[in-house]
Homo-oligomer: A and B are copies of this chain.
């Protein structure tokens, strides 16, 4: 390619370095930073993010992209060069459409809203948060209008997290999902719940940590290009394809927290570690969408980590490690216990069956707010009514209802649906993997994950952001996005636990 392209890569590498540095500072903030450093750190991160934004949206970048546009017509659209120019142009256009005054107003509103949200949740007083939420909705409406959209205003917000996805696609898929899922949840609720008290026994935290680290190694997570640390809230972050870090938390009296958190984050981490190294320091060195990212974490957490074959391999080891808590618990009891389904009020504690209903509720309310179809004042009631409809439970408090999630206080609307999209995609991808790898279950039961990882690397990870999520899904599975495979997976798995559903 031309010198112009090299110059673009050089400018984008500088932006990537600044973003990576900000991410290191954020990682440090959540893991090792002393408390007294909070204000200084906020300044440092703000400086890095501001400079990154200034450089990326500079006229220099715009001019280079304009010059390169004619060159792309002769290129294979999936080539690194064409993809890089296309994705950089996309990000550039989005970033330039947002007036800097709006970006600043959003940042200020978020910093106030976060505090208001915390106080509102702690004191169970929705009225404290309501005016800040109203302000953030207003700013999100302005944002959507500035960005533009073809059909619905919500499309513009969604597009930030799930490029190429439309609100109407999600509506169609979620509609099909809800219709079939609500009866399944009701059927499960009618069965006696499996025993799971043993999960709340005492599990030495160091042994839990060591077990999780061993599992990470087995899964193929590369410790030469990553590490795991402790933090209050688990997350995955990447400073380079060669430096992808996970965090977890360990609860002495609830075994699933740490291990399944670790496997979930490993799914994110394996994605980032699997991106073609030649894409490092470019905008292509990232997951193609949040939904696709979540499909990887959910596939490893639920379809692998909570599967019977997985525990056929690991359960004896786990029993040896925790004889006091597990010696009298059979593999079957353990397997049923870690897959217990119970409608609950709190999303982050939900099992894999009911989880998507929590998401649908949020998606619907977000759309209504953005379209001005619901007043902020009525939101708590609407939330509670819909919870009852979907999950058969009504929160006693707003803290356990509309105030439970941090996302809205961060001004992040359009984010929630990606969690459910990830669940659906994970089933579509896992079906295809099973077709392509006929011995997959036996391999998992033998603690061998390399052919599954290789399959994911080749079909998903390697491409980074070169191919949009829905196109990639189609390319790999020959199918459009659909709730059917996930529903079939749920019916099959939970029929084995709760009898026929």
Contacts and interface: CB of A to CB of B under 8 A. Distances in A.
Interface of A: 13-14, 17-18, 20-22, 24-25, 28, 32-37, 39-41, 43-44, 47-48, 51, 222-227, 229, 239-243, 280-281
A222 B34 CA distance: 10
Nearest to A241: B40
Given A17-B44, A34-B226, A47-B17, A242 B24 contact: no
Nearest to A19: B44
A40 B242 contact: yes
A298 B249 CA distance: 40
Best-buried of A35, A36, A223 by chain B (most CB within 10 Å): A36
B35 A21 contact: no
Contacts of A239: 37, 40-41, 44
Contact of A37 (B28, B35, B51, B240): B240
B47 A240 contact: no
Main secondary structure of the interface of A (DSSP, over half): helix
A18 B36 CA distance: 19
A243 B47 contact: no
Contacts of A241: 40
B48 A242 contact: no
Contacts of A222: 36
Best-buried of A21, A25, A280 by chain B (most CB within 10 Å): A21
A409 to B, nearest CB: 26
Contact of A25 (B24, B224, B280): B24
Contact of A243 (B18, B37, B240): B37
A20 B34 contact: no
B13 A243 contact: no
Given A14-B47, A239-B44, A281-B43, A25 B21 contact: yes
Contacts of A43: 13, 17, 281
7 contacts: A20-B44, A21-B44, A24-B44, A37-B242, A40-B243, A41-B243, A51-B51
Contacts of A34: 223-227, 242-243
A284 to B, nearest CB: 15
A239 B47 CA distance: 14
A44 B226 CA distance: 17
Contact of A225 (B17, B37, B48, B224): B37
Best-buried of A20, A22, A44, A280 by chain B (most CB within 10 Å): A44
A15 to B, nearest CB: 9
A236 B227 CA distance: 23
A240 B28 CA distance: 14
Contacts of A225: 34, 36-37
A358 B73 CA distance: 67
Best-buried of A226, A242, A280, A281 by chain B (most CB within 10 Å): A242
